[in-house]
Each structure stands twice: as structure tokens, then as C-alpha cells.
Chains A and B, each alone.
Chain A
Amino acid sequence: LASIFSGMDPATNSKSNHCLDAAKACNLNDNCKRLRSAYISTCSREISATELCNRRKCHKALRQFFDRVPSEYTYRLLFCSCKDQACAERRRQTIVPNCSYEDKEKPNCLDLRNLCRTDHLCRSRLADFHTNCQVSFQSLTSCPEDNYQACLGSYAGMIGFDMTPNYIDASIVSITVSPWCSCRGSGNMEEECERFLRDFTENPCLRNAIQAFGNGTDVNLSPKN
């Protein structure tokens, strides 16, 4: 089935940019446009020469966007498929990463996890992610019960919390997502840290779910609910 869909691809205009189309769809819907503008203006408003933005307010506006706008708009922005760098950079920029994602220092991932666990919502969203995007060897898609939607939903559910994930670069050949952390300075917990980080960076279930959404092939695999 996937080959039938991928066979349709070359027919589409080489200049087509699915991430730009997703922005258009959002701009033409009053609710999506309003909440997108709300987080973009909050996340790109400079406070002072030293403070790029108010991260706390930015995260809150992002959470409201993903909570209150239907996933048909939000997923399209977040998981659009790309054939060129401009598109992939637009996809990476979706969450205004220089405010919501990047930081001066990269904390240790286990420290970041501990911080996330002090907030009951962050804690439960992270647990959802681990459950719904857990690599399964019994399924065709590598996702539990071949449910792509559940995995994508739990990924999006972490945006605006301390564990906010994002695309690490604007690469079109490989899609890699990660929270803003590293496993440096893990001491004897190095292995656990790497295992935790790999759930984001090297997760075939998550990667397949994102790619399938972008190609429009997910509809046939996810169970109807």
C-alpha cells in the first residue's frame, strides 16, 4: 500500500512545501490563526538584551495552542513532510525553538527528566510518550498496536513542558527529534541516560509515525477510534 502512495509523490509539484501549506490552512482558520499568533508573538517577544523571551509564557501559549486547536491543524504544522531544506527549517521553527527549546546550556537528560517529574502534567505526558511510542517488535509499524496517532499525540503533548522535544536540525534525509539535553555528566547512570534519550532520537515507532503522517499513509494503519 505504501508504494501506491509514494508513487503519487513525483506527480506533485517540486516546489510544493507541505509545511507552508499547513501554515496556510492554519491562517485560514480563525481559531488556529489566533492561537498560533498568540504563541508566536509571545515566544518571539524580546524582553531585554540579555533575555530573549519569556520562556514560561511561551510554553504556556504553546500548550494552549496544542490543547485548543484540533490536531488536523497542529499535526500538519508539526509533522509536515519535506523535500527541501527551506521546508524542513520551517518545520523545525514551528515551536519557535530559540525560545521554547534551546537554552544556553544543555542539561543532563536524567536531570531534565527529574525536573519534568516534579510537575504532575509533565510527568504524565512523558509517561504517555513512553507508553505510546514504545518500540514494539510485534507490530508492522514498530508502534504498539500499530497506533501512530497515539504516538504522535503523546509527542505533541510534551510541547510546552520541560521535556519539549523538537527536530534537532533541518535535515531532510533523516528525521531526528530530541529534548534539549545530553548524556554528558551522567556518571554511572550513563547507560540509563542513553536509553532514555534513544527513545526520542532513535525510535523507529516515532520516526515511522512522523513519516507516515507526512506522506498521508497513516490513515490506513491507525485503528479507527
Chain B
Amino acid sequence: NRMKRARARLKPCALKELEVSVSELGLGYESDEIVLFRYCSGTCETAVRNYDLSLKNMRIKKKIKKEKVRARPCCRPLSYDDDVSFLDTYNRYYTVNELSAKECGCV
């Protein structure tokens, strides 16, 4: 089981999806309407650049001390999905943008 979990953590960065109600998004809207929420998930091991290695070494050698730096790529949306509209429980329509990821990448 631990192997399974470990392997799941090593999945490369990719788009995944969930069916969730608008209320569950936690954005303050009350609606039972179900929307497709697409997000980015996975590791970026293979996307490490010389930039990351060098930055890491600069930090080890204390050339960079106080600044907040990130020496490994992140799995993040490269672009976002189209707008999503829904009717809330008070019969008002809302449209939200950049809710879902469209394309993922290690940046």
C-alpha cells in the first residue's frame, strides 16, 4: 500500500478533474450546481533545470541567505479554462473566470 502511495506521488505533472458543487468550491457562492473542476497534480522531477541546480548550490554555499527562493519546478496551470456560469440558490446568475486549469506544466 505504501508502495502504491509512493508511486502515486511520483506521477508526472498532469491535468486531473473532479465533479464538485459550486458551494464546495468555497468561493462564497451558494449553489447545488455541479461543475467540472480541473486541476494540476503530479511531480516535476524530470523538469529540473540547470537553473534549479545552480540556485540550490548557491543556497547551500550561503551566497543566497535571506531571500525566499524556489529551487525546484512547480506543477501549475499554464492556462485556464473558459468562464463558468451557474444559477445560485437565490436564483441569481454568476460567472466566474479562471476557475479551472486547462493545461498543466512544470514551471
| Per-position binary interface string of chain B over residues 54-89, scored 1 when its CB falls under 8 Å from any chain A CB and 0 otherwise | 000000000000000000000000000011111101
Q: Looking at the complex, which of A36-44, A127-135, A145-153, A155-163 is the stretch in contact with chain B?
A: A36-44
B33 touches A20 (CB 8 A): yes
Bound-complex Cα distance A38 to B93 (A): 12
Contact of A23 among B33, B82, B95 (CB under 8 A): B33
- CB of B44 within 8 A of chain A? no
Contact B93 A33 (CB under 8 A): no
The answer to whether the Cβ of B50 comes within 8 Å of any Cβ in the partner chain is no
Cα separation A34 to B19 with both chains bound (whole Å): 17
Q: Which B residues lie within 8 Å of A173 (CB)?
A: none
- If over half of B's interface residues share one DSSP class (helix, strand or loop), that class is named, otherwise mixed; here it is strand
Binds B, one of A6-14, A88-96, A192-200: A88-96
Q: Are B85 and A36 in contact (CB under 8 A)?
A: yes
Q: SS class of chain A's interface: helix, strand, loop or mixed?
A: helix
The answer to whether residues A96 and B19 also contact, given A23-B86, A27-B35, A28-B36 and a CB cut-off of 8 A, is no
Which residue on chain B has the smallest CB distance to residue A99? B93
Closest residue of chain B to A17 (Cβ to Cβ) is B32
Residue from B34, B82, B84, B91 in contact with A24 in the complex, judged by beta carbons closer than 8 Å: B34
| Contact count band on A | 20 to 34
**A41 and B95 within 8 A (CB):** yes
Q: When each residue 64-92 of chain A gets 1 if its CB lies under 8 Å from chain B and 0 otherwise, what string results?
A: 00000000000000000000001001100
Q: A90-B87, A93-B87 are in contact. Are A44 and B34 (CB under 8 A)?
A: no
Residues in chain B near residue A17, CB distance under 8 A: 32
Q: Which residues of A contact B87 (CB under 8 A)?
A: 23, 90, 93
CB under 8 Å from chain A, chain B span 1-59 = 19, 32-36
For A93, the chain B residues whose CB sits under 8 A away are 87, 91, 93
Find out whether the CB atom of A40 lies under 8 angstroms from the CB atom of B85. yes
Please pick, from A20, A24, A86, A96, the residue contacting B93 in the complex, using a CB distance under 8 A.
A96
Q: Count chain A CB atoms within 10 A of each CB in B35, B84, B87, B95 and give the residue with the most.
A: B87
8 Å CB interface, B79-107 against A: 82-87, 89, 91, 93, 95
Of the candidates A20, A27, A28, A37, which one forms a contact with B95 in the assembled complex, judged by CB atoms under 8 Å apart? A37
User: Can you list 28 A-B pairs with a CB-CB distance of less than 8 A?
Assistant: A20-B32, A20-B33, A20-B34, A23-B33, A23-B86, A24-B19, A24-B33, A27-B33, A27-B35, A28-B19, A28-B34, A33-B82, A33-B84, A34-B82, A37-B82, A37-B84, A37-B85, A37-B95, A40-B95, A44-B85, A44-B95, A86-B89, A89-B91, A90-B91, A93-B87, A93-B91, A93-B93, A96-B93
Q: Which B residues are within 8 Å of any A CB, using their own CB?
A: 19, 32-36, 82-87, 89, 91, 93, 95
List the interface of chain A (C-beta within 8 A of B). Answer: 17, 20, 23-24, 27-28, 30, 33-34, 36-38, 40-41, 43-44, 86, 89-90, 93, 96
Q: Give the 3 A-B residue pairs with the shortest CB-CB distance, closest first.
A: A40-B85, A24-B34, A37-B85
